[in-house]
Amino acid sequence: MKKTYFFIFLLAIAQGSIAQDQPKLVVGIVVDQMRQEYLYRFENKFGENGFKRLMNNGFMLTNMHYNYVPTFTAPGHSSVYTGSTPAVHGIISNDWWDKDIKKKVNCVGDDRQKPVGSTEGNGDVSPWRLLSTTVTDELKLFTQKKSKVIGISIKDRGAVLPAGHFADAAYWFESSNGKFISSTYYFNTLPGWVEAFNTQKLPDTYINKVWNPLLPIAQYTESGPDDSPYEKVFKGKDKAVFPYDLSKLHKENDGFDLLYHTPFGNDLLTDFAMAALKAESLGKHEVTDFFTISFSSPDYVGHNFGPNSVEIEDTYIRLDKNIETLLAKLDEQVGKDNYVVFLTADHAVEDVPQSLKDAKLPAGYLSEKALSEELNAMLQKNFPGKNLVESVTNQQVFLNADLFTGEPKIAGVDLMIATDMIVNYLQKKEGVALVYTRTALKQGDYNEGGSKGMIIRGFNHRRSGDIVFELEPAWLSSSSKKGTSHGTSYTYDTHVPALFYGKGINKGSSAVRHQITDIAPTISVLLKIKYPSGCTGNPITEIVDNK
């Protein structure tokens, strides 16, 4: 009997020591549209307690890449937290053409839900289209849903997808009324602390600020000139140059929506993060909590001004201070040795193609709307009176299967003919590098290398199109010659930062190539929980092997 009690005593000690090994809080930070090279290019402008604290006192992976296309926001966030790719988790883009209902759908759109905290806005959302569990879901399952999981962002998808299916809450900013809102998927009324935060009307303060560079503009030597012909211009201004007086600009630029396009969007989200940490007592429970934060404003600024603008550099200098504020709050509330932070991005970004063309580098533009019209006109020769192409979106061609009617064998032949005609047309189209049919991708190997493998991993057999194409390097699916975007398989879109910091994370760095799908299983190993259900990545051994 004494031996039995002694064994139970030892077991209790062992279980206690395991519990002590776990962080009290995991904070996942995704920066929307961040290149790895920003950490190097802007390093001398960063303080010691923001990005540099993570870089110098944590573990940095300098060769982290996305391993699929398209490299967009929703697939990126989903892949970080599921450890899988769109072929598995199903989030193939921010929105896509639904072949069943024949209209475009949003990645988190859910007509069964209603906004909470607002009578209008994009509150009819949920993670229901995400087909895999997330690492946040697995933490919930492991702790019998005792862990608290909260997700926040300016964008709804940036909050909803990382927080997963079992989240206690997800919050995002509604520009129509300047409030953080949620969805009936989580609850029917906002918590009191969110209502209290909204009553402060901080967006009113930010929307009346003047955006001046934080440093003297002459010190922004890591960027191009402030007056650049390649940047989008806000309504009410003649040029895209500092200062930006938001009090004079916001009425012509969709009100609070203008905040998204400035670093004040990051400031507002940081304010909300501070309130959430305190009100939800994150990191103060018996089990590990998880807090997901997605900074959306760098994406808007990057799209408008490009990666070589003074505006983007100033945004990252200011974001460095937001990271510093967040880490200081975690030190105070959770304790320096009690939390883990990882920071990455949902994609990187391309240089403005027109700026490359003017520098005599290969680059160009392709309008998907114009391409759709071209394809339907071309197909009229063999299929008069029929618009066989329903949509060209996200570098995919969606065919109207309902128009291939009649005897099955004939309909099948017609479909083959139309597909072959489109493939041949695209292969001759300037700016198109690769073209693959649905059949070729379904027969491909998930682990195949090169661009074809990236397309396969981004291709979901139920949701993706009938034909997929990739553009040449430095080409963009756009008709605008100002600003830029992302979405391709090239390194300028795939190479992102990956920083790990906190409890149990040693100092160091590695130039070994890793895939974005490796983050979720790495966090799973650190938390000693099951991998997400669709996980295809592997733990990062440089981080987990020394535990």
Active site residues per annotation = 73
Query: How many C-beta neighbours within 10 Å does residue 235 have?
Result: 10
Q: For the residues of 172-201, what is the DSSP string, one character each? A: EEETTTTEEEEETTT-SS--HHHHHHHHT-
Rounded to 5 degrees, what are φ and ψ at 512?
A: -65, 135
Rounded CA separation 246/501 (Å) = 36
Task: Give the closest residue to 340 by CA, choosing from 184, 152, 519.
Answer: 519
- Main-chain dihedrals φ then ψ at residue 386, nearest 5 degrees: -120, 130
Nearest to 155 by CA among 292, 4, 344: 292
The total number of residues shown for the chain amounts to 547
* Alpha-carbon dihedral sign for residues 71, 153, 90, 426: negative
Q: What are phi and psi of 369, to 5 degrees?
A: -65, -45
**HSE-CB for 51 with a 13 A CA cutoff:** 22
Q: Which of 154, 516, 122 has the alpha carbon at shortest distance from 299? A: 154
Q: Determine the distance from the C-alpha atom of residue 35 to the mean position of all C-alpha atoms in its chain, rounded to a whole number.
A: 13
Q: Cα(90)–Cα(254) distance, rounded to whole angstroms?
A: 32
User: What stretch of H or E contains 271?
Assistant: helix 264-279
DSSP H helical segments within 296-393, as ranges?
297-305, 310-333, 353-358, 368-379
The C-alpha R_g of the chain, in whole angstroms, comes to: 24
Sign for the CA dihedral angle at 520, 525, 527, 530 comes to positive
Cβ neighbours around 225 below 10 Å, total: 12
Tokens of 154: 């300016």
Q: 59-65 and 115-116: which strand pairing?
A: unpaired
- Residue pair 151/217 in contact by the 8 Å Cβ criterion: no
CB-based contact 511:63 (threshold 8 Å):
yes
